[in-house]
């Protein structure tokens, strides 16, 4: 297994697309490299903010090959392997494990609703055993979108059945109490909050960091909280990161983050999203920029090429 376990700020980098709806590999690579240079501890590529489920499994795998070929270290990658079928989740896990990634982020299957913990346990177990993988698996709990999630009881069973493999979770429930309950109930299990709004509270309780949509636009501001969380400056830095997040999340997150990158880099290509998402209308974009000016924030441009 690759390197040390993830902690700190992981960024589910947004994915740039070409007009033919394919991934724009060069632009994506430059963003990923820049995020690492600007303070990301890892890249949770192919998450919700990356529009991963709007990209075919095959296309995701070949794009990841290209990213690693260009020099992004697999140890810094936590690719999403979200899929509704065991077939595809297995293929994605096997592929990621073949690259010796630092870990993978695994959604529950999200088509059928109201499924049992037993069914989800068997899904995760089938994927891990069919992939013959020992790569670290981080569970991805995002009930507002997936509508299917990991209960505390299920998480515990998974850690017991797959020790050293199911090692952590991203909690995007939006419910800090849920995050804290997992942290307290499962010592040694690596819990990331899904929004930087909860970062300081998560770290203080024993969580290990956050994996957050707005990381693509404010990675240094969020990393500042991580770096200073034991200091007197922590609350001020948290308030600052929270203010930025709250300004952004008044808008649909994916197009909003892309609009910030487009403006910061004077590169409208960043605005493109894949259907069913739509770009921010011009008036919403103006309001987004005004909201951020009101909290004296502007997205940094991407780090220059070497």
Residues that bind a second copy (CB under 8 A): 21, 48, 53-59, 82, 84-88, 91, 108-113, 115-116, 118-120, 122-123, 126, 130, 144-148, 274-278
Q: Which two tokens stand for residue 132?
A: 């013959």
Cβ 285 to a second copy, closest distance in Å?
16
- In this structure, the dihedral spanned by the alpha carbons of residues 104, 109, 114 and 120, taken in order and rounded to 10 degrees, is -60
Closest distance to a second copy from the beta carbon of 259 (Å): 16
Give min distance, CB of 287 to a second copy, in A: 18
Q: Rank residues 121 and 186 by Cβ distance to a second copy and give the closer one.
A: 121
**Radius of gyration of the CA atoms of the chain, in A:** 18
In the complex with a second copy, the residue whose CB is nearer, 146 or 200, is: 146
Minimum separation from the CB atom of position 32 to a second copy (A): 21
CB-nearer residue toward a second copy: 63 or 210 = 63
**147/298 with CB nearer a second copy:** 147
**What is the distance between the alpha carbons of residues 170 and 149, in angstroms, rounded to a whole number?**
11
The H-assigned helical ranges of 152-214 are 152-161, 176-185, 199-205
d(CA 306, CA 102): 25
Q: Answer yes or no: are the C-beta atoms of 294 and 247 closer than 8 Å.
A: yes
Output the smallest distance, CB 150 to a second copy, in A.
12
Dihedral through CA 255, CA 149, CA 166, CA 40, nearest 10?
Answer: 20
Q: How far is the CB of 100 from a second copy (least distance, A)?
A: 24
Q: Considering the complex, state which of residue 84 and residue 181 has its C-beta at the smaller distance from a second copy.
A: 84
Question: Do 124 and 131 contact (CB within 8 A), yes or no?
Answer: no
CB closer to a second copy, 57 vs 244: 57
- Reference 108, options 129, 127, 130; nearest CA is 127
The phi, psi pair for 64, rounded to 5°, reads -65, -40
């Amino acid at each position: 297994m690759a390197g040390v376990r993830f902690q700190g700020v992981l960024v589910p980098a947004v994915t740039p697309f070409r007009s033919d709806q394919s991934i724009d590999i060069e632009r994506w690579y430059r963003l990923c490299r820049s995020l690492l240079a600007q303070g990301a501890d890892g890249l949770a590529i192919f998450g919700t903010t990356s529009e991963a489920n709007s990209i075919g499994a095959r296309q995701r795998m070949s794009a990841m090959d290209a990213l690693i070929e260009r020099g992004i270290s697999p140890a810094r990658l936590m690719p999403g392997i979200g899929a509704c079928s065991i077939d595809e989740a297995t293929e994605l896990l096997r592929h990621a494990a073949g690259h010796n990634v630092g870990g993978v982020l695994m959604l529950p299957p999200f088509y059928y609703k109201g499924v049992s913990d037993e069914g989800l346990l068997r899904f995760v177990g089938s994927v891990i055993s069919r992939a013959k993988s020992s790569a670290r698996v981080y569970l991805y709990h995002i009930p507002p979108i997936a509508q299917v999630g990991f209960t505390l009881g299920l998480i515990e069973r998974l850690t017991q059945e797959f020790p050293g493999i199911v090692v952590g979770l991203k909690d995007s429930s939006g419910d800090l109490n849920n995050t804290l309950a997992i942290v307290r109930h499962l010592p040694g299990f690596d819990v990331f909050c899904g929004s930087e709004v909860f970062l300081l509270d998560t770290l203080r309780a024993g969580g290990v960091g956050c994996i957050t949509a707005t990381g693509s636009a404010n990675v240094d501001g969020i990393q500042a909280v991580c770096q200073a969380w034991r200091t007197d400056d922590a609350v001020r830095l948290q308030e600052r990161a929270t203010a930025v997040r709250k300004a952004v999340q008044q808008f649909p997150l994916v197009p909003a983050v892309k609009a910030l990158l487009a403006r910061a880099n004077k590169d409208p290509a960043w605005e493109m999203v894949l259907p069913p998402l739509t770009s921010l209308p011009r008036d919403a974009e103006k309001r987004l920029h005004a909201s951020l000016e009101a909290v004296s924030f502007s997205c940094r441009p991407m780090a220059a090429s070497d």
